[in-house]
């Protein structure tokens, strides 16, 4: 759930969430909170409200794309105008903490008004200190979103497919000298709306509604001052509201993820983690083969100078689908991003990202069924900070899908211009 927290707040960010949510976290020029991205001299001061610091703001953006419908041929271009208000509140207590977030993304297209949408995000998170090096963590999120047309694992309509996600988690962590242990339980509930196709027929998405219940056990051992070995196990149970689904499959079942590796810091210039994991998802329907695989993972940040940072990320997840030919798919993301402070008030960045979707097809799937997709994305951007309360952002991205399905590939070029205001 922590990877799905709303991140439509300025700068550039590329999240590692599942395909259903990916479009919100992949837009150059949009992403992490401005407060964390601004140079020290340009950070908004915020408003003090009792024991809280408030940071209200809004983004006004124009987005041009040359392929609105992510089509292989006969491309249509359009401009979408975005209004993105938000407010965050962080407690300033000496013990315990609570963080509140409310935000929205309201988009209007110039030509294709059927693609208009309004997305909303609410979140609360924090920690409760029990004793020294011992605390509870908690989070609760609600998101009312739309699904992007670049999601190939579901059937799309002429209007955006709407869905809501409600999630929460509760965890406990404690450190015994060099040994740290933790446990976490959580849930995610998805509710999809029906949508009309190009022929006016209803696409019934009720068989996509589901509940995911999970728990995580983790442990770490600090064998050197700047190095820690870690091991975690996550188990989950997924139940669909409608069984069987549109294809006659019972997609209920269980899954797990085992991950192990090392967290480290080297000379203060390189920090992060490297490890390996095994991910698996089994289904109650015997006709649906398990979706599983071994994968390498890493999250590295290199700071060669005070003005430049390089971030690399590799992560994997098992994702759901109602594709009649697939059980699910293993998604692996590879991201490389570079940020540089050209001037105190001017930051530039560039990124390259590759996403691989490895589908587990059913036994009798036809030869032309979707078996693997690969999406390349790359781009660059710049942010100019006018003062503590205003900034400008411009960015460009290129995206290309290479699919195993004939005539399903696409190429998209996107440009963003944005004015951000925050107190």
Q: How confident is the model at residue 239 (pLDDT cuts 50, 70, 90)?
A: very high
| pLDDT of the residue at 198 | 83
Q: Both tokens of residue 59?
A: 């983004």
Top-confidence residue, 44 or 219: 219
| pLDDT of the residue at 38 | 65
How large is the average pLDDT for residues 239-245?
A: 94
The residues, ordered by sequence, that sit 6+ positions from 339 with a Cβ below 8 Å of its Cβ are 308, 309, 311, 347, 348, 349
Whether pLDDT at 58 is above 70: yes
pLDDT tens for residues 369-413? Answer: 999 999 999 999 999 999 999 999 999 999 999 999 988 999 999
Q: How confident is the model at residue 299 (pLDDT cuts 50, 70, 90)?
A: very high
How many other C-beta atoms can be found within 10 angstroms of the C-beta atom of residue 202?
10
Helix (H, G, I), strand (E, B) or coil at 230: strand
Whether pLDDT at 72 is above 60: yes
| pLDDT of the residue at 11 | 30
| pLDDT of the residue at 40 | 75
| pLDDT of the residue at 169 | 98
Q: Both tokens of residue 17?
A: 């969430």
Instruction: Please list the alpha-helical segments (H only) found in 175-328.
Output: none
Look at residues 71, 83, 68 and name the one whose alpha carbon lies nearest to residue 120. Answer: 83
| pLDDT of the residue at 36 | 47
pLDDT tens for residues 81-137? Answer: 999 999 999 999 999 999 999 999 999 999 999 999 999 999 999 999 998 899 999
Q: How confident is the model at residue 19 (pLDDT cuts 50, 70, 90)?
A: very low
CA atoms within 13 A on the CB side of 361: 12
| pLDDT of the residue at 204 | 92
Which stretch, 1-10, 24-33, 164-173, has highest mean pLDDT?
A: 164-173
| pLDDT of the residue at 200 | 87
| pLDDT of the residue at 3 | 33
Name the average pLDDT for the chain. 89
Q: How confident is the model at residue 43 (pLDDT cuts 50, 70, 90)?
A: confident
CA atoms within 13 A on the CB side of 281: 24
How large is the average pLDDT for residues 196-217?
A: 93
| pLDDT of the residue at 23 | 31
Q: How confident is the model at residue 1 (pLDDT cuts 50, 70, 90)?
A: very low
How large is the average pLDDT for residues 161-189?
A: 96
| pLDDT of the residue at 18 | 28
pTM listed for this prediction? 0.87
| pLDDT of the residue at 156 | 85
| pLDDT of the residue at 37 | 63
Whether pLDDT at 74 is above 50: yes
How large is the average pLDDT for residues 76-85?
A: 97
Decide if 294 contacts 259 (C-beta within 8 A): no
Cross-strand pairs, 331: 317, 357
Give me the DSSP letters along 323-351. Answer: -TTEEEEEEEEEEEEEEEEEETTEEEEEE
């Amino acid at each position: 759930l922590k990877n799905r927290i709303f991140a439509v707040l300025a700068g550039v960010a590329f999240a590692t969430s599942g395909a259903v949510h990916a479009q919100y976290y992949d837009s150059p020029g949009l992403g992490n909170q401005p407060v964390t991205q601004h140079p020290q001299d340009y950070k908004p001061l915020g408003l003090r409200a009792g024991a809280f610091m408030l940071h209200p703001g809004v983004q006004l953006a124009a987005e041009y794309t040359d392929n609105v419908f992510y089509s292989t041929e006969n491309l249509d271009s359009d401009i979408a105008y975005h209004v993105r208000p938000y407010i965050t509140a962080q407690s300033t207590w000496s013990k315990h903490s609570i963080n509140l977030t409310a935000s929205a993304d309201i988009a209007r297209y110039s030509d294709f008004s059927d693609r208009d949408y309004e997305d909303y995000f609410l979140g609360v998170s924090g920690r409760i200190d029990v004793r020294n090096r011992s605390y509870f963590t908690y989070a609760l999120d609600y998101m009312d979103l739309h699904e992007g047309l670049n999601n190939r694992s579901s059937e799309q309509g002429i209007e955006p497919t709407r869905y809501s996600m409600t999630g929460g988690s509760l965890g406990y962590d404690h450190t015994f000298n060099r040994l740290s242990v933790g446990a976490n339980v959580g849930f995610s509930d998805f509710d999809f709306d029906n949508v009309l196709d190009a022929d006016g027929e209803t696409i019934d998405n009720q068989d996509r509604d589901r509940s995911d219940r999970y728990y995580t056990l983790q442990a770490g051992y600090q064998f050197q001052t700047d190095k820690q070995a870690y091991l975690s196990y996550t188990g989950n149970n997924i139940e669909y509201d409608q069984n069987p689904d549109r294809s006659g499959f019972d997609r209920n079942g269980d899954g797990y993820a085992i991950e192990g590796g090392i967290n480290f810091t080297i000379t203060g210039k390189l920090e992060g983690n490297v490890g390996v994991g095994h991910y698996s998802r089994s289904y109650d329907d015997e006709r649906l083969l398990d979706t599983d695989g071994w994968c390498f993972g890493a999250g590295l940040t290199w700071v060669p100078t005070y003005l430049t940072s390089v971030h690399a990320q590799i992560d994997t997840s098992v994702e759901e689908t109602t594709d009649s030919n697939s059980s699910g798919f293993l998604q692996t993301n590879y991201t490389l991003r570079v940020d540089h402070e050209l001037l105190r008030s001017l930051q530039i960045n560039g990124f390259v990202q590759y996403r691989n979707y490895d589908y587990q097809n059913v036994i009798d799937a036809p030869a032309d069924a979707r078996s693997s997709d690969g999406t390349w994305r790359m781009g660059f951007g710049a942010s100019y900070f006018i003062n503590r309360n205003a900034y400008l952002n411009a960015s460009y991205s290129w995206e290309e899908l290479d699919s195993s399905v004939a005539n399903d590939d696409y190429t998209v070029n996107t440009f963003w211009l944005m004015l951000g205001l925050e107190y």
